[in-house]
Structure 1
Amino acid sequence: MFEQMLTMGFRPNVSTFVTVIPICARCGAKHIGRSLHGSAVKSGALSDQSLVSALITMYAAFGDTHVARAMFDELVVKSAVAWNAMISAYARTGDPDECFGVFRSMMVADDVTPNLVTFVSVLPSCCALGFRCAESVHARAIKCRFSRRVHVGTALVAMYSKLGDIEAALRVFRAMPEKNLLSWNSIISGLVRNGLWDAGFAAFHEMRTSPDARPDSVSIVSVLSACARMEDPHLTASVHAFCVKNRLDACVSVSNALLESYVECDRLSISIQLFDQMVARDLISWNTLISGHVKNSGVDAAIALFKRMFHAGIKFDVVTAIGILPCFHGDKELALGMSIHGYSIKTGYASDVSLANALISMYCSCSSVEDAELLFHCIPSKNVISWNSLLTGYRNNNLYNEAAKLFDCMLSENQKPNFVTLLNMSPICKTQLQGKSIHAYAIRTGAVSETGLLTSLMRMYNRFERFDLCRALFNTGDKTNVIVWNALLPAHSNAVLAFDEMRRADVKSDVVTVLELVSACTEIGNLDLVHCVTSYIHRSGFWRSTCIANALTDAYAKLGSISMARAIFEDIETKDTFSWSAMMNGLGIHGDGIAAIDVFERMKSEGVEPDEVTFIGLLSACSHSGLVEEALMLYNSMIEEFDVMPRREHFACMVDLLGRAGRLNDACELVKGLPFRPSPSMLESLLGACRCHGNVELGEEIGRWLVESDGCDAGAYVVLSNVYVGAARWGECSRVRFGMDGRGLRKVAGCSFV
């Protein structure tokens, strides 16, 4: 219309400019706004303060506060409209210091008085300046008799709520003679923001019965936020019913708040149903449900929903990527993770450091550490989370040397380690000195008070058999916390006494406590203690825990009571892979390989997928029972049928099996063809087989490999000397014994649990 007006020959006046310039600000038409400014200067209309105020507001919307301030300072006589425009300009661009400075200059000016708009404009900026500025502006509003006006009162309520002084916000709200919808929403959101969820609900109920206003979508979103924090599904359902009754559920923001609230209340099925019923969804809807699946360990469902979102043409953002990336593990998800990385680079999201950190974690989880390192070095401004992400990846992939080097590099670049950093470093310390250095740094920074780090340090000292230091750390911890006691149990010289001490302290046990106790009894080798622990498990209600039942199955099998182990195994309602593996391993220990294979067949018939641990137990059982052909068949099916790649432990079982069966040449060929260097224990097993079957030549070759290896101990020399004794080659026997003495090795006396 303005352009048509110009083409018809009409000249714009002040009223025309004042009308059109704000439209340029709203539309972001910067060039048109500047040309209108030029036209106003040319026509001499800038003498009108209302036009100057409109231009100040426009330039503030464009972010050009310097131009706006220059125009404001050029005014000889400044009206309240001009002052308000400048205050609003600084408030809009997020410069609270300048905003308050202009307000203070206005207060000392002789020719102007603040009005309602002045206070509404300046009060939001006081949130960033603290109570002193907030209370001074409030005092001025009282002096000017504006504090009880609805708009100023609402701004005061919002200001005090954001400052955390909810009592002051309530006093202002109660003193307001008139309230509107914005006032009610401000006090409700303020109460919820400050954690007063019950009070927020009470205010919402009062609002419903008040004649001043009816709840709208903003009110509902605030109340649903309280439902989510309280994790109360019944309140969420009540608010949901209110939304349906008042036709507020069609609003996307309300539907998203309902989704989040049901997710936080562990009602994911309702969230899915609500999501499918939504007429209109936005990106927040998808992100909320994806994070809900991740929160409830529905990794496959989260990935499926992400793919569905992608096929629906919804472009994801940084929040989506950060939410879905933790779901990716292994080679299968690596390709999808890399595609997200590629899309992030294409859209410019890759510059976000939080997303880069999530991508580093994803690459490490998918065992692609090289890609994680490459991405890490490409981050221009790393934060401590970036370092921790790669450090955690190194630790999870057993790259302890690389982790130690990264930690040193982190210190050399003046990046301060935090609690997570130290938590990653304490389990990988190779020496007590390294562990004590981590401990000392934790004390210096105060991080040692964190329960997670304290227990990690306790376990570290337990690994070095420094039980005194472990106990000293325990004494500094929170003795009402079961996690601290759980860390003490494996380090205590008598775990049963420590458990008794824990019970006397009235600390309630958890699943980890019981697992540590069962493990300690197994290590002690006392079957009576395991019977006592089993009784405690029955009485304490832990009996239905699958992991505890698995531990008991393993304990009874190792302590000789295979019948009890089998009874516990059969009583497990939901057997997992570890249940079947524990039973098979127990049967293998007792030399019943046929029964172990029968259990394996049952496992397959019930649809449970075996893993690498399952096959270690099976092959070991076959080895103890001399089932060579069966073991070879299982070994082949492991690779071909179940796609489980053999690890060092599988090769060790096969070497032991072939050696026991006297197929020494086959075992030797297997060792020579290994994709890694054979361990000393594997070579010792083969050497022992050579002694049993009297193969001196092969025993000499294996013995030479062992002596040349770094991990050779006295046992290898003893077995090799016994090989020579069996062949009556006393000279070679003496030479081996002499070599053993020369290296300062002494045979450790054996002992038996029986």
Structure 2
Amino acid sequence: MLSSCSCSLVVTPEIPISQNLQTNELIKNFKTPFELKQAHAFLIKNNAPPSSLPLTRVAIVCALTPSFSYAHQIIHLSNLPELPPWNSSLKFFAENSSPQQAITLFLCLRQMGTPLPDHFTCSFLLKACTRLLDISTGRIVHSYLEKLGFQKNLILLNMVVNFYAICGDMRSAQLLFDKMPQRDVVTWNIMMSQLIKRGDVGDAYRLFSVMPERNVRSWTSMINGFVQCGKAKEALELFLEMKKEGLRPNEVTVVAVLAACADLGDLEFGRSVHRFANRNGLQGNVHVCNTLIDMYVKCGCLKDGFRVFDAMVERTVVSWSSLITGFAMHGYGEQALELYGEMVGSGVKPNHVTFIGILHACSHMGLVEEGREFFTIMSRDYGIVPRIEHYGCLVDMLSRAGLLKEAHEVIVNMPMSPNGVIWGALLGGCKLHRNTDLAEEAMRHISELDPLNDGYYVVLSNIYAEAGKWEEVTRIRKLMKNRGVKKTPGCSSITIDEVVHEFVAGDDTHPHAKKIFGMWEKLLVKLKAKGYVPNTSVVLLDVEDEEKEKFLFRHSEKLALVYGLMNIKPGMPIRIMKNLRVCEDCHAVFKLLSAMENREIVVRDRNRFHCFKNGFCTCKDYW
């Protein structure tokens, strides 16, 4: 709220000028009220008018000081418009570190009887209120705007809409938006971008669809909104539509589209955006390069990500952290640790994301002692307070290594409440090391924290199935049914000639299903000749092994791989995306086929990347 002016309006006596002062310089560049009075005294002595002083500087130097009234008198006696110098002072405060002082100064000016505010005054006050999120004072400024007849000033009205939206009062923003006599693309962009920030992407898209005019910012905001809410496919479709409209994407657009490619694992689309960025002079842009690294890493093309990193002239902590995380995700833990050493040696200070990547690397390599040390270094040497993600990595590392008791102690003694992911990491370790009792305890907590996540029920079912406790498996299924939890079907996708082909476990609806199954039967003969024995333990059904094999041979990643072998040229890598964890049987098959078919096979599952080559996987069978 506008409060009483607390300025002490005191006029100090005239102070004589020192003979050694460079008066001309002083008149132009005084820095304090004391120096201003010296300059003013010189002007009086030489019969020069007050307007000889730079009045904007008078206002800024004396605003909200005991010399405020003195400055006010100088400006008033200058016979020049009074408002511009004070507006400059308001602008200075509103745009710097003291927006509250802009509001206080305005009140003081009104008490001193300065002319009515103009549109510049209102704009600077609105800027201050927006920065302060001061909804009460902003409403008063809005009423001033209406009272002074600025209802048709589009720039000011846009500022008011933006003010209400940023302060969270979308109702007032919408009411003003609806009654505005005219709107421009800025008005629409303000409403759309603020809706997106609040997660209301549906309403934002409805606005976008009826906009009479769209600029690059409009398209970019909507593309970014789709990416943020997990609609990466829609984001790419919108990007293609934007290009058809003849608009040239900017740096922000490119970053948003690359993020969508990363989410989808669409390497070819990502590469086309990379080429566009290079053609348009963005190859040296740090933000674009960082997003390119992330995109290549998440699309399973670590080499290309490293090439981007290696060519960067300027690298930030994001550049290093993205590549470190990428090495960890792809199973190259040693390289991740080496890169961390290079990063620290180059003088770049790691952040919390860096240590998530490092701890992830230690977890998937089984480097328990190193992981413990990095967890200590993080806070001891860099003052980074461990977040729940760091504790999740630590619990995962200990659980994978079979140190289930220690992992449990970490959870119990965490400074924050553990979430479902933390207990899920322990549950995964229990499955790996067949600890039914601790698995049941973890599941009790998960049932409260994340009761609708089907993945955890499946893991517990798997633990019971491996122990031959089929009654417990049945009980878990009934529990899922009673709670309305449905098992997410395994789904894998592969991109061939820029077309995404999706496969669901057990699905025979693909147009080439018969050819795929026929090809699999031929491969199966070769696999068995190489010693392959189907691992039916991963099928959580109490049926005969022959029936289990039928389910096993219809896993989505197997169907995607066979289709890739049928359609991707020999020698070319095959890249597959899967929504769930790769099962042990598929993992064994992929290792064998990578050697038999002389193929590099890259699979991105829910947890990490598996890079199969010459019969081996980068995860070293530890995932």
The answer (yes or no) to whether the contact 1:580–1:600 under 8 Å persists in 2 is yes
The answer (yes or no) to whether the contact 2:457–2:476 under 8 Å persists in 1 is no
d(CA) in 1 for partners of 2:242, 2:478: 48
d(CA) in 2 for partners of 1:655, 1:541: 35
Q: Classify the secondary structure of the residue corresponding to 1:492.
A: helix
Q: Classify the secondary structure of the residue corresponding to 1:156.
A: helix
The structure where helix makes up a greater share of residues is: 1
Q: Classify the secondary structure of the residue corresponding to 1:144.
A: helix
Which residue does the alignment assign to 2:213?
Answer: 280
Label 1:550 to 1:216 Cα distance change in 2 as closer, same or farther (>3 A). farther
Residue of structure 2 aligned with 1:236, choices 170, 194, 199: 170
Matched, 1:294 2:210: no
Matched, 1:181 2:112: no
Aligned residue type for 1:311: K
**1:474-493 → structure 2 map (5 Å cutoff):** 491-492=407-408
Instruction: Please report how far the alpha carbon of residue 639 of structure 1 lies from its aligned counterpart in structure 2 after TM superposition.
Output: 3.9
d(CA) in 1 for partners of 2:351, 2:489: 35
d(CA) in 2 for partners of 1:433, 1:521: 20
Label 1:140 to 1:466 Cα distance change in 2 as closer, same or farther (>3 A). farther
Instruction: Please report how far the alpha carbon of residue 568 of structure 1 lies from its aligned counterpart in structure 2 after TM superposition.
Output: 3.2
Q: Deviations over 1:219-271 (max 9, x none)?
A: 444444445545x4xx32432232231223x2111111011111122221221
CA RMSD of the aligned region, Å? 5.2
d(CA) in 2 for partners of 1:541, 1:407: 35
Instruction: Please report how far the alpha carbon of residue 313 of structure 1 lies from its aligned counterpart in structure 2 after TM superposition.
Output: 0.6
d(CA) in 2 for partners of 1:459, 1:255: 47
Percent identity, please: 16
d(CA) in 1 for partners of 2:491, 2:280: 48
Matched, 1:206 2:206: no
**1:337-352 → structure 2 map (5 Å cutoff):** 337-352=270-285
Q: Which runs of 5+ in 1 are unaligned?
A: 1-76, 88-96, 127-131, 468-487, 582-598, 610-615, 657-668, 678-710, 712-754
The answer (yes or no) to whether the contact 1:116–1:146 under 8 Å persists in 2 is no
Matched, 1:141 2:76: no
The answer (yes or no) to whether the contact 1:550–1:579 under 8 Å persists in 2 is no
Which residue does the alignment assign to 1:512?
Answer: 421
The answer (yes or no) to whether the contact 1:328–1:337 under 8 Å persists in 2 is yes
How many residues align? The count is: 514
Q: Deviations over 1:621-661 (max 9, x none)?
A: 399714597479648756446989898943676699xxxxx
Q: Deviations over 1:257-310 (max 9, x none)?
A: 011111122221221121121111111111111111111111111111111101
The answer (yes or no) to whether the contact 1:123–1:156 under 8 Å persists in 2 is yes
d(CA) in 1 for partners of 2:368, 2:268: 41
Which residue does the alignment assign to 1:438?
Answer: 374
Matched, 1:251 2:184: yes
d(CA) in 2 for partners of 1:79, 1:653: 82
Which residue does the alignment assign to 2:9?
Answer: none
The answer (yes or no) to whether the contact 2:351–2:384 under 8 Å persists in 1 is no
Label 1:307 to 1:448 Cα distance change in 2 as closer, same or farther (>3 A). same
Instruction: Please report how far the alpha carbon of residue 362 of structure 1 lies from its aligned counterpart in structure 2 after TM superposition.
Output: 1.6
The answer (yes or no) to whether the contact 2:36–2:58 under 8 Å persists in 1 is yes
Instruction: Please report how far the alpha carbon of residue 136 of structure 1 lies from its aligned counterpart in structure 2 after TM superposition.
Output: 9.9
d(CA) in 1 for partners of 2:119, 2:319: 45
Aligned residue type for 1:183: T
Which residue does the alignment assign to 1:562?
Answer: 473
The answer (yes or no) to whether the contact 2:430–2:438 under 8 Å persists in 1 is no
The structure where strand makes up a greater share of residues is: 2
The answer (yes or no) to whether the contact 1:515–1:548 under 8 Å persists in 2 is yes
Residue of structure 1 aligned with 2:129, choices 191, 197, 221: 191
d(CA) in 1 for partners of 2:410, 2:351: 34
Label 1:201 to 1:252 Cα distance change in 2 as closer, same or farther (>3 A). same
Which residue does the alignment assign to 2:585?
Answer: 650
Aligned residue type for 2:276: Y
The answer (yes or no) to whether the contact 2:423–2:443 under 8 Å persists in 1 is no
Of residues 448-457 and 339-348 in structure 1, the stretch that sits farther from structure 2 once superposed is 448-457
Label 1:335 to 1:508 Cα distance change in 2 as closer, same or farther (>3 A). closer
Q: Classify the secondary structure of the residue corresponding to 1:310.
A: helix
Matched, 1:421 2:341: no
Aligned residue type for 1:389: S
The answer (yes or no) to whether the contact 1:262–1:271 under 8 Å persists in 2 is yes
d(CA) in 1 for partners of 2:157, 2:544: 67
The answer (yes or no) to whether the contact 1:328–1:334 under 8 Å persists in 2 is yes
The answer (yes or no) to whether the contact 2:258–2:270 under 8 Å persists in 1 is yes
Aligned residue type for 1:240: Q
d(CA) in 1 for partners of 2:69, 2:178: 43
Label 1:562 to 1:458 Cα distance change in 2 as closer, same or farther (>3 A). closer
Instruction: Please report how far the alpha carbon of residue 352 of structure 1 lies from its aligned counterpart in structure 2 after TM superposition.
Output: 1.7
d(CA) in 2 for partners of 1:227, 1:407: 45
Aligned residue type for 2:122: W
Instruction: Please report how far the alpha carbon of residue 549 of structure 1 lies from its aligned counterpart in structure 2 after TM superposition.
Output: 4.8
Which residue does the alignment assign to 1:380?
Answer: 313
Label 1:394 to 1:671 Cα distance change in 2 as closer, same or farther (>3 A). closer
Q: Which runs of 5+ in 2 are unaligned?
A: 1-22, 111-115, 493-503, 514-533, 566-573, 577-581, 601-619
Q: Deviations over 1:340-388 (max 9, x none)?
A: 2222222222222222222222222222222222222222222222222
Instruction: Please report how far the alpha carbon of residue 157 of structure 1 lies from its aligned counterpart in structure 2 after TM superposition.
Output: 2.4
Which residue does the alignment assign to 2:5?
Answer: none
Which residue does the alignment assign to 1:691?
Answer: none
Q: Deviations over 1:397-448 (max 9, x none)?
A: 2222222222222233233323322332123236455335534542344433
Q: Deviations over 1:635-692 (max 9, x none)?
A: 8756446989898943676699xxxxxxxxxxxx989848699xxxxxxxxxxxxxxx
Q: Deviations over 1:181-218 (max 9, x none)?
A: 2212211221211333x235433443355336437434
Aligned residue type for 2:398: N
The answer (yes or no) to whether the contact 2:436–2:463 under 8 Å persists in 1 is no
The answer (yes or no) to whether the contact 1:427–1:456 under 8 Å persists in 2 is no
Aligned residue type for 2:315: K
Scaled by the length of structure 2, the TM-score of the pair is 0.66
The answer (yes or no) to whether the contact 1:229–1:264 under 8 Å persists in 2 is no
Instruction: Please report how far the alpha carbon of residue 160 of structure 1 lies from its aligned counterpart in structure 2 after TM superposition.
Output: 2.1
Q: Deviations over 1:584-610 (max 9, x none)?
A: xxxxxxxxxxxxxxx965x7789xx9x
Q: Deviations over 1:532-587 (max 9, x none)?
A: 8878777x585444445545554655562122133234446463535899xxxxxx
d(CA) in 1 for partners of 2:442, 2:535: 25
The answer (yes or no) to whether the contact 1:372–1:390 under 8 Å persists in 2 is yes
Q: Which has the higher contact order (CA 8 A, sep 6+)?
A: 2
The answer (yes or no) to whether the contact 1:337–1:362 under 8 Å persists in 2 is yes
Which residue does the alignment assign to 2:530?
Answer: none
Q: Classify the secondary structure of the residue corresponding to 2:283.
A: helix
The answer (yes or no) to whether the contact 1:221–1:253 under 8 Å persists in 2 is yes
Aligned residue type for 1:168: Q
The answer (yes or no) to whether the contact 2:333–2:361 under 8 Å persists in 1 is yes
The answer (yes or no) to whether the contact 2:395–2:422 under 8 Å persists in 1 is no
d(CA) in 1 for partners of 2:586, 2:445: 40
d(CA) in 1 for partners of 2:417, 2:64: 48
Larger Rg over CA atoms: 1
d(CA) in 2 for partners of 1:362, 1:413: 24
The answer (yes or no) to whether the contact 1:160–1:169 under 8 Å persists in 2 is yes
Scaled by the length of structure 1, the TM-score of the pair is 0.56
Aligned residue type for 2:210: Q
Label 1:510 to 1:206 Cα distance change in 2 as closer, same or farther (>3 A). farther
